[in-house]
Each structure stands twice: as C-alpha cells, then as structure tokens.
Structure 1
Amino acid sequence: MTSETSDFLHLQHGNDRLARCILLVEDNPVDVDLTLRAFARRRLANPVQVVRDGEEALAWIPRWEAGEPLPVVVLLDLKLPRVDGLEVLRQLKAHPCCQTVPVVVLTTSGEDRDVQTAYQLGANSYIIKPVDFHRFMEVVTQIELYWCVVNKSPH
C-alpha cells in the first residue's frame, strides 16, 4: 500500500473514530515497543493506550460505563500478570457496554485450548505473534488497517 493510499484511508472515517483509542493489553515491553513502532510507521491516527496487566485492562470497564469512548479495538495478550487474558476477555464480553468492542487476541500461545476458549468467550480474531521482526510489523500493520480503517464498527 502506498503512503497516499494510507493517508486516504485514514481520512475515510470520521473524527469520532479517530479519537477512539486502541487498547493494547500487553506485559512484554519488547512487544509493546514493536507494536507502537509498527503503528508509528503507518502514522496511525488512533491513539494507543497501553496497559500492562489484566487488572489494568479491567479497570477501563467502569470508565466506559461512565461514558468514556470505547476503544476501536482491544489487542489482548493471553499470558498476563494479575488477571490472565482469557479472564479479561470473559469479563469484557460479559459487560453490555463492551460486548461489541472487537477483541483481537495477539499472543504467543498457539495452544488449541486457548484458541477454542478465546473464540468461545467472544474473541473476534486470534493471532499468534510472529517471532520474526518484519513479519510481526506486517501483522500489526494489517491488524490496524483492518480494525481501524476497513472494519465498520457499531460505535
């Protein structure tokens, strides 16, 4: 995709969507840095809010219930301290205000049990983090392109 196409696509959604954040739930500082760098390379219009454990992620629910804008997408690792990612997913999808927020599991776990459970709990996508740096950057770029530009959200 050319830079001009990227700029055009970013202009296609309204200001309300631009203001909505991407919630990145990730405890690994290297993965946080790589994800933020991938978004920066694409000049991502949506702000990224990083939380480092499941408890911090769940602390957003009351804020959203109080009227703060919902995230355009949640990128959720499964192997988190304090509250694991599957429990975060379960609680997010149990709250009426969060049920339609897209949740993309972005994790190193390729265990069939984790994949099945994530989808049963309402995950919208399950992506195993690539080990290769360039492939990781490509995957994060595709996530951003689909969920923040192409996908039509109910919010």
Structure 2
Amino acid sequence: MTNPSPSNAEPARILLVEDNPGDIRLTKEAFKRGRIEIELDVVSDGVDALEFLSQEGEYADAPRPDLVLLDLNLPRMNGDEVLEELQDDPALRRIPVIVLTSSQAEEDVITSYDLRANAYLTKPVDPDAFIETVRTFEKFWFSMVRLPPEDDSA
C-alpha cells in the first residue's frame, strides 16, 4: 500500500488488538481527531488477532491491515505469543506491529523487540495524553514511514 494521505481515496487499515474497552474507546477517539482516514478493526485477544490476520473462521473476509496495534496483556494468547506467531508466518511477518501497552517493564520492551515488534509505546494513564500518543503515532506511521507492500508470493 502507498501511504495514505488526506487526498488518497484508500484509508489506512489498522487492527487494534486490545481487551480494555476504555482503551479501545480512547484509540477510536484519537483516530477520529486525526487527519488521516483510518479504518479500525478491533479484536480483544491474541487468538482472534491471529485468526483475523490469517483470515480464518469468522474472519474469512477480514481485510489485511496495514499495521497492527498490539497490547501485551491479552486473554487466551498474550502479545508476545502473537508476535512470535506472526514472525513464524511468511505471509504475515511484513505487517508492522506496534506494541501499545501499559507495561513499562524493561523486560517487556526487550522481549517485544526480540520478537521483531516495530515499535514499543507505553500507554499514558491520562486520557488526553493517551489520545495525543495515538495521534503522534498515526502521523509518524502514516505520513512519514513507507509501509511494506503485501507479500503476494506467500
């Protein structure tokens, strides 16, 4: 995909993997305030994230996201396990994954990067700061970064 901009017809697609309803609401609010059109899909655990990305089960018709926002603390399969599965799958490993979590533990940062996360963001506790973090992320990843094309050979 080419980077979306206000003049492009195609919105950026993001898969948010998050089980906290408050954080989901804040993330949606932040993207509404942004300048880039975002199509946001949400799943609440790691198993659903992998099914969505692999277009399996109820997600057979799911669109391929341009980027994944991944919480680490998830039910059924945590974020580290999701990262590990993504890296083992040639069809999915090119999708950029941004860890967006409340954990500030150095061990979580190291593990996320070892598992090839593209960035690690700590969720601010303050709702306004949270929204600003998401908007800054949006601007950087969709205005400045060139995202990889979908790998059609896999």
TM-score category, normalised to shorter length = 0.7 to 0.9
Identity %: 43
Task: Report how far residue 44 of structure 1 moved.
Answer: 3.9
Equivalence map 1:137-148=2 (5 Å): 137-148=131-142
In structure 2, distance between residues paired with 1:10 and 1:86? 34
Choose the corresponding residue for 1:25, options 4, 17, 32: 17
Q: Would you say how many aligned residue pairs link Structure 1 and Structure 2?
A: 143
Q: Which runs of 5+ in 2 are unaligned?
A: 150-154
In structure 2, what is the equivalent of residue 132 of structure 1?
126
Q: Which runs of 5+ in 1 are unaligned?
A: 1-7
In structure 1, what is the equivalent of residue 68 of structure 2?
74
Choose the corresponding residue for 1:121, options 112, 115, 124: 115
> Cα gap change, 1:61/1:72 in structure 2, threshold over 3 Å: closer, same or farther?
closer
In structure 1, distance between residues paired with 2:128 and 2:96? 25
What RMSD in Å do the two structures reach over aligned CA positions?
Answer: 2.1
SS in 1 for 2:55: helix
Greater shift in the superposed pair: 122-131 or 39-48: 39-48
In structure 1, what is the equivalent of residue 106 of structure 2?
112
1:10 aligns with 2:6: yes
In structure 1, distance between residues paired with 2:80 and 2:69? 12
In structure 2, what is the equivalent of residue 36 of structure 1?
28
8 Å contact 1:10–1:149 — kept in the other structure? no
**Moved >3 Å (runs of 4+):** 66-69
Q: What does the per-residue CA deviation read over 1:113-140, in whole Å, with 9 as the maximum and x for residues that have no partner? A: 1111100000000011001111111100
Q: What does the per-residue CA deviation read over 1:87-125, in whole Å, with 9 as the maximum and x for residues that have no partner? A: 011111211111111100000011111111100000000
| TM-score of the aligned structures, taking structure 2 as reference length | 0.84
In structure 1, distance between residues paired with 2:62 and 2:30? 26
| Greater helix fraction, Structure 1 or Structure 2 | 1
> Cα gap change, 1:20/1:95 in structure 2, threshold over 3 Å: closer, same or farther?
farther
